[in-house]
Amino acid sequence: MPASSWGLRRAGFLLSKAACAFALGIPLAAPVLALAQFSPMVQAQQHLRAVDTMTAQFTQVNRNGRSLAGELTLKRPGKVRFQYQSGVPLLVVGDGNSLIMIDYKVRQVLRVPVSSSPLSALPDPSKDLSRVARLSPLTNRDKVVLEVRDPKHPESGTFTFSFSRSQTSPAGLMLEGWTVLDTQGNRTTVHLTGQRLNGVVSDKAFTWNDPRPRSR
């Protein structure tokens, strides 16, 4: 298989396993009545722009029902880390420009531009969601659901972000997780728990060890 083809397939596989967000917007103490004047789309954008850091536990389930767990760490601008549970030889790190997917089992490293994926709304919330997202019919009083698909990069698939209503969170929302549907019809769901916003996160959290052999 050509390297470019392998890279796209590998990127899709790993990107469907991972992902995150946030900054700007309504003050944290904004009255609930004030939030009512904003559309759910605007609220979601403001939430993603209102958080400088986030840590959370994530559970990922693929189309076969296989479940993996791990820890998500996010820091603006552009830094994100998906640390999988012990025994899973995968790591995903965002350095602001690229999502770096490391497979320690086969000692391979793949870089994908953040801008080429709808997932960029997480580490880079400056992206205007209204250009690539639409409200899902699942949106209701308790939830806001956005379907994100970048027409410039259809190979990235569709990301569906789910937010729950929360009076104590920025813009009145809390990111609960997302679902990824790739171009082959494979569906992966990520659910977040234990979200902690705007805490202290060191830049050291986004370092990683390169498994590739050093050339002489």
In this predicted model, what pLDDT tens digit does every residue of 141-179 receive, in sequence order? 889 999 988 777 777 788 899 999 998 999 999 999 999
> Peptide bond preceding 213: is omega within 30 degrees of 0, i.e. cis?
no
H/E run at residue 95: strand 90-95
Q: Residue 28 has which token pair? A: 């944290």
CATH for 180: 2.50.20.10
Query: Does residue 120 form part of some domain?
Result: yes
Q: Residue 166 has which token pair? A: 């929360």
Q: Over range 7-33, report the average pLDDT.
A: 36
Query: Does residue 74 form part of some domain?
Result: yes
Q: Over range 186-201, report the average pLDDT.
A: 95
DSSP letter (8 states) at residue 200: -
Query: Does residue 210 form part of some domain?
Result: no
Q: How far apart are CA 17 and CA 19, in angstroms?
A: 7
Res 133: pLDDT: 84
How many domains, in total, are found in the chain? 1
SS3 146: strand
Query: Does residue 114 form part of some domain?
Result: yes
Residue 69 exposed, middle or buried by CB count within 10 Å (0-12, 13-18, 19+)? middle
Query: Does residue 116 form part of some domain?
Result: yes
Query: Does residue 208 form part of some domain?
Result: no
Q: How far apart are CA 44 and CA 41, in angstroms?
A: 5
The residue range of the domain holding 24 is: 3-200
Tokens 């997780």 -> residue: 177
Cβ 128 vs Cβ 115: under 8 Å? no
